[in-house]
A and B are shown apart, each in its own frame.
Chain A
Amino acid sequence: MHRDALPHDDDPWQVDGVRLASRFLLGTAGYPSPQVLREAIAASGTQVVTVGLKRQLAAGGDNGFVAIVREALAERGARLLPNTAGCRSAREAIELAMMARELYGTAWLKLEVVGDEHTLQPDPVELVEAARTLVREGFVVWPYCTDDLVTCRRLLDAGCAVLMPWGAPIGSGQGLLNPYALRTLRERLPDATLIVDAGLGAPSHAAQALEMGYDAVLLNSAVAQARDPVRMATAFRRAVEAGRGAWRAGVMARQDFAVASTPVAGHPFLIGGAP
């Protein structure tokens, strides 16, 4: 196990009464092998990993990935966050959520309801409807949403435990495409737990999100599709810690003009002025 991958517990956050030290949530799809996935989980220091459900075809199987995830989590005491990826309607997401709760034994749910096949943008109307029903059914709902403030408010009103606005389309690696909208969410929803989910590509994107005051990030492709996923998981872990540290330290305000850092009053000038 990576010794320095154990999350520091001096700055925890919590969801559903569960205290979490790591602000790095990791997806489990698309890794080159189960062993690489296992090592990436360890290197990331993550305490929450996402998993999914799929229709079981005749020759279906997952080549041992899920078993590896369960073993890795048992070793680390981490938790599963099942998703409703692929659902196109509130009804579909609700049915899949019920199945996920039974199969995985957790009420935690990453709620996804897709509204557009090209961008995989969440459908805000179906998402809010599904969230309302699932919260009533006892789920702890983590909705994957857009960065629309009004939709986010509706999700909080519906009882969602956190909000997970996108940085960019899933798997695109483009980073934070609309930092203004994300900053607005942070400012207008100061008490909400906010997690940037989707579209992160580089550790600097994660650092940017945490510097903005977001509570955590969730990413998958950026690690799984790296040339060296394990090394990238470490890089992201450090970036998340750096961004959080910066937020706590207080990043200096931006200026439109230069402000000399070296004091110049009283310094002699070589040309002009009194000798």
Chain B
Amino acid sequence: MNATATITVLLDGTPRELPEGTTLAVLVAELGHAPGAVGTAVNGRFVARAQRDEHRLASGDAVLFFQAIVGG
């Protein structure tokens, strides 16, 4: 039986195991977010919504999601 290869990313500082080849778009959907409701950054760099489908995550990637909030 072939085991599915996995990667481990840091999602907001917490390790999360994902199937190898997971894209950022898939991760956003898996977490239940509407694509337009969050901003995404990987390893400190902004990843535009239009690029999430092509952005494959790798082990060790630090992924952050951002949301709109009130501010001064």
Contact = CB atoms under 8 A, between A and B. Distances in A.
Contacts of A221: 72
Interface string A36-74: 010000000000001111111110101001100100000
A86 B71 CA distance: 11
B45 to A, nearest CB: 6
A53 B39 contact: yes
Contact of B71 (A51, A58, A95): A51
Given A29-B72, A99-B41, A221-B72, A60 B46 contact: no
A27 B72 contact: yes
Given A53-B39, A53-B67, A103-B39, A220 B72 contact: yes
Contact of B68 (A27, A53, A91, A95): A53
A99 B51 CA distance: 13
B69 A65 contact: yes
A53 B66 contact: yes
B40 to A, nearest CB: 8
B26 interface: no
Given A55-B64, A95-B41, A99-B39, A65 B70 contact: yes
B66 A99 contact: yes
Contacts of A66: 68-70
Contact of A85 (B36, B68, B72): B72
A27 B44 CA distance: 27
B71 A56 contact: no
Contacts of B41: 95, 99
Nearest to A219: B72
A28 to B, nearest CB: 4
Contacts of B40: 99
A226 interface: no
Given A57-B12, A58-B12, A85 B46 contact: no
7 contacts: A29-B69, A31-B70, A51-B70, A55-B66, A58-B14, A65-B70, A96-B46
Given A55-B64, A100-B39, 20 more contacts: A27-B72, A29-B70, A51-B68, A52-B68, A52-B70, A53-B71, A54-B66, A54-B67, A56-B66, A56-B67, A57-B12, A85-B72, A95-B46, A96-B66, A99-B39, A102-B46, A103-B36, A103-B39, A170-B72, A171-B72
Interface of A: 27-31, 37, 50-58, 60, 62, 65-66, 69, 82-83, 85, 91-92, 95-96, 98-100, 102-104, 170-171, 220-221
